[in-house]
Structure 1
Amino acid sequence: MRKPNGYGTIKKLSGNRRRPFVFLVSKNGRQKPVEYFTSQIEAEIFQADYNKIHHNRSLPGHQITLAELYHRWLPAHIADTAPSESAIASYSNSFEHLALLHYEPFQKLKYSDYQRIIDSMRKSGLSYSSCKKVRSLISLLEKYASKLEIIDKSYAPLLSIGKNKPVRPHKPFSRQKINRLWQHTDEPGVDTVLILLYTGMRVGEMLHLQKSDVNLRQRYIRITKSKTAAGIRTIPIHHRIYPLIEARMNTPGQWLISQNDHMCSYSNYCILWRNVMHLIHADGHTTHDCRHTVATLLDNAGANETAKRRILGHAGGDVTERVYTHKGLRQLRKCIELLK
């Protein structure tokens, strides 16, 4: 669509630039840059908003596309919910799966358009989780579009993503493997695996721990960064791992698990993890098996279900549990100490 005179111009600059797209407006017969962008669609959104604010006009017959809606929704969603970096990366990946629909008017998209994308993903061998994330993104975009009064019907709940068939079901660590870890606490990284096995933390939660999140005097850890709202929680420090955490607290730097005085990245931790698993003859175990182990051992010990959920950072099972049941640190400590 040809844009009217005075609407401004978007150009792509040459060279290797982080923000190669520029929006320009004419002033005194010369084009002057207003803002720079990483993508064409971001520049077009800014251009449209700029003309609405400064000239009170819009492109005639303009219909918002899926791509434009996504780039409008994402900043608003980040401001409202502060999702983790991994969640934002997941949104971006799911958005790329919808590439064939990027420039289609959002209000004209139907169930068959979305289902065709998901069916193609399944035929390509992509996981149930990937399909689920795409459906989740569609749902979030439809809710945002509904707020903007672009659509009045949601297709996300109708989409079929098949059945979840785990490629490798999680399995708990055996007592023999846990004992082997205790026999090698002086080896690099062994203490981190034991910390996971006696707290139920996700590996990402552990890697984001700063020393200010650990209270040695009252013996608890505060999780302040997690993939879910329920993941923001307090975990008592089990007496067996207290010396391991205390030793980590006495090292230089702000991070509990550090690498060259910086936060240890997930990829680097995976290398450390594989070395530890090879040491104790447990090749094949994943970091999530630690959470599965904690859940299994607490179940076997007859732990209180609500306390177990609080420790693992799972959402409550029903309204009564979520709203009316409160578990103090003493009760959580009683639960975590059931781990032997």
Structure 2
Amino acid sequence: MAKRKKYPKLPNGYGQIKYLGKNRRNPYAVYPPVKEFDENGKAIMSKALCYVDDWMKGFAILTAYRAGTYTPGMEKELNCDDTDSANASSVVQRILADYNLTKNGRLGQKTFEEVYNDFYDYKYERDKSRNYSVASKNSTRAAFKNCMILHKKPFADLRHKDLQEAIDSCKLKHSSLELIVSLLHQMYEYAIVYELVDKDYSTALKINIPDDDEHGVPFTPEELEILWKNRDNDIVEFILIMCYSGYRLSAYKNLEVNLVESYFKGGVKTKYSKDRIVPIHSGILPLVEHRLSEYGCLLPQSNSNFRCKMYEIIKELDIGCHTPHDCRHTFSALCEKYGISNNDRSRMLGHSFRDITNKVYGHRELEDLRAEIEKIQICY
């Protein structure tokens, strides 16, 4: 028995042609592209457009549907055996005519804006598994607005250079560009799941400007000495912990503290920052133990206005103007001053690696990092 001929896979978003089995007059069912999904995100199949006796007829129907020229019953007019017209069957002629309409007119292709609207509805409206904050929704909308150069382009035609151009041409700050990159990653993840594209062109995107969110002024050695002399003050105590561990202020609210093995674990903002491990420097270990004993955590609810209290105490101690983020810069400066390797400094600060060797193959044990951080000397 001759095997049934295999046909090529249809492009994403083209529709489906299903073989229903032999002994049927019209064994191929032709379905339009999926446009609706249930509450779980599963595709809802539409009613078949028609049933045909040849796969090529089905392909011609879908091409016409995509080009906007399909009319019910047109499959009866197609003949795969008609070779009287320039040695081409009516099916082939039909496919070529409709394909040219689709290619040149971009009919049937969703634009970037349309895919974004579908994605936004999928993430924020249909997904009831979690509640997103207003800030999250606003950030997503802002990221979309800031890549206007892509809005009217067919999503399936976009390539890496188009996405990178949208980032490079945006004159906003690093943090705004981060939101655009994040949006593109999420949209391509959505588009692949729903077969709008075959490949994720957002994977290698780069932000080609310095991270301007990291500006700050480290505490000077003289200022640190003043802080250490006043470490019995509750606010100063926490300032010192931040200066010798390098996390962002918001990270300390949920930071894991392991006193048995003496390390912090946690972080916020990026995948490189989150869940990173920083050994607890022996100099601040008593301060950490005291806070855990006193409050059960590093940053208690009573310190909810820590920023204001910090400004008050450093003014009282006659120390120059500093923000909580300056503590992170102080840690970085101390690492540099006492010869901690750049790679370990980046690991403990949660910075990303641009080189493949460190990004993929760089691994350090806790004790390796502890040996590095203990190079920092505390003089008071």
Q: Please indicate, yes or no, whether the TM-score normalized by the shorter chain is above 0.5.
A: yes
Cα 1:128–1:216 change in 2 (3 A) is closer
Structure 1 counterpart of 2:243: 197
Task: Provide the residue aligned with 1:290 in structure 2.
Answer: 327
AA in 2 matched with 1:192: F
The 1-side partners of 2:164 and 2:347 are apart by: 36
What does 1:168-247 align with in structure 2 at a 5 Å threshold? 169-209=215-255, 213-223=256-266, 225-231=267-273, 232-247=275-290
**Equivalent residues in 2 for 1:102-181, closer than 5 Å:** 107=155, 122=171, 127-151=173-197, 166=212, 169-181=215-227
2:46 is the alignment partner of 1:57: yes
Distance 1:217 1:52, change over 3 A: closer
Residue 174 of structure 1: how far off its partner (Å): 0.6
The number of residues matched between the two structures is 275
Alignment deviations for residues 75-109 of structure 1 (CA, whole Å, 9 cap, x no partner) = 99999xx9xx99x9456424245359799797389
Letter in 1 for 2:308: I
Question: Could you tell me which of 295, 298, 301 is aligned with 1:256?
Answer: 298
Moved more, 102-111 or 321-330: 102-111
Distance of 2:363 and 2:257 partners within structure 1: 22
The answer on whether the counterparts of 1:65 and 1:105 sit within 8 Å (CA) in structure 2 is: no
State the superposition RMSD in angstroms. 4.7
The residue that corresponds to 2:122 in the other structure is 72
Q: How does 1:293-304 map to 2 (within 5 A)?
A: 293-304=330-341
Aligned to 2:17: none
> How far, CA to CA, are the matches of 2:346 and 2:353 in structure 1?
7
Note closer, same or farther for the CA distance 1:207–1:273 as it changes in structure 2 (3 Å cut).
Answer: farther
For the 8 Å contact 1:90–1:133, the answer to whether it is kept is no
In structure 1, C-alpha distance between the alignment counterparts of 2:286 and 2:38, rounded to whole Å: 57
Q: Deviations over 1:251-290 (max 9, x none)?
A: 244x321124xxx55xx23223322332344454232222
Contact kept? 2:143, 2:176, Cα under 8 Å: no
Q: Distance in 1 between matches of 2:44 and 2:360?
A: 50
Which letter maps to 1:230?
Y
Q: 2:364 aligns with which of 319, 324, 327?
A: 327
- SS of 1:234's equivalent in the other structure is strand
Assess if the C-alpha contact under 8 Å between 2:168 and 2:208 holds in 1: no
| Aligned-residue offset at 1:189 | 1.3
**Matched residue, 1:318:** 355
Describe the superposition over 1:162-198 as per-residue Cα deviations: whole angstroms up to 9, x where unpaired.
8559499422211011111112223331111100111
Offset at 1:151? 4.4
Question: Percent same amino acid among aligned pairs?
Answer: 28
Aligned to 1:185, what secondary structure does the other structure show? coil
CA shift at 1:146, angstroms?
4.2
Q: Could you tell me the TM-score, scaled by structure 2's length?
A: 0.56
Tell me which moved more, 319-328 or 195-204: 319-328
Task: Return the alpha-carbon distance in structure 1 between the equivalents of residues 186 and 45 of structure 2.
Answer: 29
Which amino acid in structure 1 is aligned with residue 330 of structure 2? T
Matched residue type, 2:155: Q
1:172/1:296 contact within 8 Å kept: yes
Structure 1 unaligned runs (5+)? 1-45
Separation in structure 2 between the aligned mates of residue 108 and residue 326 of structure 1, nearest angstrom: 38
CA distance in 2, matches of 1:72, 1:172: 44
Matches within 5 A, 1:78-97: 89=135, 92-96=138-142
Larger Rg: 2
> Which of these residues, 267, 270, 276, is aligned with residue 307 of structure 2?
270
* Equivalent-residue separation in structure 2 for 1:315 and 1:167 (angstroms): 15
CA 240–75 in structure 1, closer or farther in 2 if over 3 Å, else same: farther
Distance 1:155 1:336 in 2: 39
Give the unaligned 5+ runs of structure 2.
1-34, 48-64, 67-107
